[in-house]
């Protein structure tokens, strides 16, 4: 187990290192450079040169990359000239709400996907299994923004029962108070996740239902509910937990 953890940590370090290189290259590849992207097309050459000197963009590329890594290591993610605010402040304002919304959508997806996957496995190769499989493929291939637009049209215009905008507060307490504004965003985020988790559960359940311990449990006279939800589902949940 310890060696497995070390291996995973080593892989994570390599991935993060490659991501920093790719991100740095993309930043350096902006048309006109970072100065032009920040100051706009009307900036003079003197203003561009002053911006490059102030931010170290006139230094050698390797030195710029080392400075870039050093800032990230110290928690300095730069400044957003589009929002006229530091990236750290933007993260502090938006990250808690993003985590909250993602957590709600994941919980909803699990609540729906696990029973759905179990039902598919029990009804495998029958009409209900085929219907749910097609629905899952459609849901998984639907972009989140398009799913959100469909939900807004259906439940805010065709059937005006839900608000068409997200919670407008800046903190989690206000978001929770405006719970009805959370329904559509959470459902939109859950669509693809439900499809993915349902497929995981179905595949794992089908494999486990063919195992010897399931036949033994049935031979001992256990009810089908106990065989499926107590014995089989417990072992089939490992891919989803991972």
Q: What is the mean pLDDT of residues 148-170?
A: 83
Backbone Cα Rg of the chain: 25
As given in the structure block, the two tokens for residue 173 are 């307490």
Q: What is the mean pLDDT of residues 168-185?
A: 78
Q: What is the mean pLDDT of residues 5-34?
A: 86
What pLDDT, on the 0 to 100 scale, is given for residue 75?
A: 85
**What CATH superfamily classification does 91-241 receive?**
MetI-like (1.10.3720.10)
Contact between residue 98 and residue 186 where contact means Cβ atoms under 8 Å apart: no
Work out the pLDDT band at 49, boundaries 50, 70, 90.
Answer: confident
How many residues does this entry show for the chain? 242
Contact between residue 128 and residue 117 where contact means Cβ atoms under 8 Å apart: no
Domain locations along the chain: 2-78, 91-241
As given in the structure block, the two tokens for residue 166 are 């997200």
User: What are the pLDDT digits (tens) for 116-131?
Assistant: 999 998 888 889 889 9
User: What are the pLDDT digits (tens) for 59-98?
Assistant: 888 888 888 888 888 888 888 877 788 888 888 888 888 8
Q: What is the mean pLDDT of residues 192-211?
A: 89
User: Looking at the chain, which runs of residues are DSSP E strands?
Assistant: 79-80, 85-86
User: What are the pLDDT digits (tens) for 214-226?
Assistant: 888 888 888 888 8
pTM over 0.85, yes/no: no
Q: At what angle do helices 183-209 and 87-122 cross, to 10 degrees?
A: 40
């Amino acid at each position: 187990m310890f060696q497995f953890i070390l291996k995973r940590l080593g892989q994570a370090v390599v991935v993060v290192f490659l991501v920093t290189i790719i991100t740095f290259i993309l930043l350096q590849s902006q048309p006109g450079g970072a100065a032009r992207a920040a100051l706009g097309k009307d900036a003079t050459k003197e203003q561009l040169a002053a911006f490059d000197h102030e931010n170290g963009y006139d230094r050698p590329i390797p030195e710029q990359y080392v400075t870039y890594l050093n800032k990230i290591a110290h928690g300095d993610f730069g400044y957003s000239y589009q929002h006229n605010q530091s990236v750290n402040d933007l993260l502090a304002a938006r990250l808690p709400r993003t985590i909250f919304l993602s957590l709600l959508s994941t919980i909803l997806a699990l609540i729906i996907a696990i029973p759905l996957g179990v039902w598919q496995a029990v009804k495998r190769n029958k009409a209900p299994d085929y219907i749910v499989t097609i629905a899952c493929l459609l849901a998984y291939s639907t972009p989140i923004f398009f799913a959100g637009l469909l939900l807004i049209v259906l439940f805010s215009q065709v059937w005006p029962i839900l608000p068409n905008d997200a919670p407008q507060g800046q903190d989690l307490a206000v978001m929770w108070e405006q719970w009805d504004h959370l329904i559509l965003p959470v459902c939109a985020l859950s669509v693809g996740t439900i499809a993915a988790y349902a497929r995981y559960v179905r595949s794992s359940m089908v494999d486990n239902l063919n195992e010897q311990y399931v036949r033994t449990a049935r031979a001992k006279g256990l009810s089908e509910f106990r065989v499926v939800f107590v014995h089989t589902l417990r072992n089939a949940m490992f891919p989803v937990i991972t």
